Amino acid sequence: MAALCRASPRFLRKPGLCRTARALSSEKHEYDLLVVGGGSGGLACAKEASQFGKKVAVLDYVEPSPKGTKWGLGGTCVNVGCIPKKLMHQAALLGSSLKDAQRYGWNVSYPVNHDWSSMSKAVQNYVKSLNWGHRVQLQDKKVKYLNLKGSFVDPHTIRGLMKGKETLLTAENIVLATGGRPKYPTNIAGAREYGITSDDLFWLKRSPGKTLVVGASYVSLECAGFLTGLGLNATVMMRSIPLRGFDQQMATLVADHMEGHGTRFLKKCSPTKVKKAENGRLRVTWKYLDSGKEKSDEFDTVMWAVGRAPDTQTLNLEMAGVKTNPATGKIIVDARETTSVPHIYAIGDITEGRPELTPTAIAAGKLVAQRLFGQSAELMDYDNYGCVGLSEEEAAGRFGADHIEVYHAFYKPLEFTVAERDAAQCYIKMVCLRQQEQRILGLHFIGPNAGEVIQGFALGIKCGATYSQMAKTVGIHPTSAEEVAKLHITKRSGADPTVTGC
């Protein structure tokens, strides 16, 4: 500890801090488990650990975005991710339903206008209720909640900081779950000064108006999709392919569907600068990567969705000896979510090689607690999480193209028929291993209620379901999910996969 004090003068700003940390580290630790980060994974881990009668604390602090947006306990998913996104997506779906309603005999008077401020207020109020609910849950489970910004002093000691006040906490075990934050491009003039990210979009009190969304990630496409659905002018600018890392056939279908329903796409383009025009709007200049030609247009809002970075910079990981990947800044962990320090663990978006998904962070957090304090030795399975399993590309890469079978179908949901909706992109793909009963490696679905459908089949895929078992499943009629059980045409056959009739 003496070497630490000499090598780290920033810890000498307050007299006695090093002496206090040394004293704490030499005594019995205050907590059995200290979780740094109050997002989905961290909260799940803390609550699970408390069930074993352990003394647990959660530190959570939200650094305001460059635009000053801040939120409460619950992490990205609750505050600026899955929850507000789905609610705003639902608002967009209701607008589509109004169009369908006329075909079904409803007398809908036009024009129908959407009020952003009413929607955002309702969504934000619900999110705030979730913030409070998380605090109540922690209190009920006797988990100490500390609204502090945590950083390491030594491998067992965390310094909590809030408004200049410091608190030192020690723990036998520490779990890092601070998640990630959106990136701003560093090579584009005006990007940070005039642009926003998803950290800000869901908390806007006024409509973003004509919006440029830069990037081709799922964050980009989800946000541009619901903005279009709300009747706003939305443009997606992307350098290369949409939804990198996802099954590319499905990704292309999604982008085509969006384009066909009003979202503008600027493909193979890269922004070069953003500046404020005299009329108050934002003039964006971009370059076409194929030709090098430049063009510009004015927007009310520019949203960056060019990736996320792990929120690890202020953790002082070097003080604990926790190793990261220098290229990504993410924490290196093993199959047990253990870092380079045996009693320090990391879960969720800050870990190297893990999917940046809420359900996987929650599951991984619970399993860490169960391995630490229960009798479990179970490890997190990152192949068969409740999303879609392997893409066609991943399956071919892992097993060889000749060793996989792909069953697929284009179908038309019943609810689309009377409304005369275009169903050209409604598509199902099941990727299987070509052996005996054909184990299912992945399931991909585009259509209404896709999340609900996939979740229903996730258990089967987790349990090693085969194509033959799926083919023997009696469908629930008439549903879109039923089409999964009816899959029978393979890509290898070359037959038309379009479903006709019931």
Give the catalytic positions in this structure: 477
Q: Does 216 carry a binding-site annotation? A: yes
Q: How far apart are CA 230 and CA 367, in angstroms?
A: 40
Contact 322, 331 (CB under 8 A): yes
Q: Does 221 carry a binding-site annotation? A: yes
3 state DSSP class of 45:
helix
For residue 149, give both structure tokens: 């910004």
Burial of residue 86 (number of CB atoms within 10 Å: 0-12, 13-18, 19+): middle
Contact 72, 79 (CB under 8 A): yes
3 state DSSP class of 129:
helix
Contact 472, 460 (CB under 8 A): no
3 state SS for 346-407 = ECHHHECCCCCCHHHHHHHHHHHHHHHHCCCCCCCCCCCCCCCECCHHHHHHHHCHHHEEEE
Q: Does 189 carry a binding-site annotation? A: no
For residue 234, give both structure tokens: 């939305």
Q: At what angle do helices 82-103 and 218-229 cross, to 10 degrees?
A: 40
Report phi then psi at 303, rounded to 5. Answer: -115, 130
Q: How far apart are CA 448 and CA 388, in angstroms?
A: 16
Q: Does 215 carry a binding-site annotation? A: yes
Q: How far apart are CA 108 and CA 97, in angstroms?
A: 11
Q: Does 222 carry a binding-site annotation? A: yes
Contact 180, 310 (CB under 8 A): yes
Tell me the β-bridge partners of 189. 273
Name 202's Cβ contacts closer than 8 Å, sequence gap at least 6. Answer: 79, 80, 84, 85, 88, 120, 123, 124, 127
**Which whole-number Å values give the CA distances from 418 to 92, 103, 104, 107, 330, in the listed order?**
20, 7, 7, 15, 50
Q: Where are the alpha helices (DSSP H) in 400-444?
A: 414-419
Half-sphere exposure of 487 (CA within 13 A, CB side): 27
Q: DSSP letters along 269-313, please? A: EEEEEEEE-TTS-EEEEEEETTT--EEEEEESEEEE-S-EEES-T
Q: How far apart are CA 213 and CA 163, in angstroms?
A: 35
Q: How far apart are CA 58 and CA 36, in angstroms?
A: 6
Q: Does 307 carry a binding-site annotation? A: yes
Q: Does 292 carry a binding-site annotation? A: no
Residue ranges for the known binding site for FAD are 86, 150, 349
Residue ranges for the known binding site for NAD(+) are 215-222, 307
Residue ranges for the known binding site are 86, 150, 215-222, 307, 349
